[in-house]
Amino acid sequence: MPAKSVSGPAASGGKYKGGAPQKRVQSRSTKAGLQFPVGRVHRYLKRETLSTTRVGAKAAVYTAAVLEYLVAEVLELAGNAARDLKSKRISPRHLQLAIRGDDELDMLVKATIAGGGVIPYIHKQLLEKGKKTAQS
């Protein structure tokens, strides 16, 4: 019995493996237009919540977007502080100056930044006493 020659979609052996080109796999970060990893954030959210709690796919995208925005904001302010101090690198001191200089970020970040130093501040009364002694 001679073998049948098969043509068409069945010839390739799969249902959809015909002439259509393969689609390139796209990450959820790329789909959302983010730099932060949506898949990793989703994995961390699932790991840290209760086992009975479900975490939706959009929750990871939203969380990654918020984190990316906060990091971009802090880095922009720290970069400005580094440029003002004529430095090309962002140090913990620049992060400290950026976070403590912005009211909203200061309320959000209550942690101590290692190597950040202190914010320069001289009380008004101390400045007034120095002026009075200079006038006398």
* Cβ–Cβ under 8 Å, residues 74 and 95: yes
Q: What is the mean pLDDT of residues 18-34?
A: 84
**Residue 33: CA atoms inside 13 Å, Cβ hemisphere, count?**
1
Model pLDDT, residue 11? 57
Check whether 2 has a pLDDT greater than 70. no
Check whether 86 has a pLDDT greater than 90. yes
* Through-space distance between the first and last CA atoms of the chain, rounded to whole angstroms: 122
3-state secondary structure of 71: helix
Q: What is the mean pLDDT of residues 121-125?
A: 84
What pTM, to 2 d.p., does this model score?
Answer: 0.70
Model pLDDT, residue 43? 93
Check whether 60 has a pLDDT greater than 90. yes
Q: How far apart are CA 74 and CA 24, in angstroms?
A: 34
Q: What is the mean pLDDT of residues 75-99?
A: 93
Q: Hey, what amino acid is at 47? A: R
In terms of pLDDT, which residue wins out, 34 or 5?
34
Instruction: Round the average pLDDT of the chain to a whole number and report it.
Output: 84
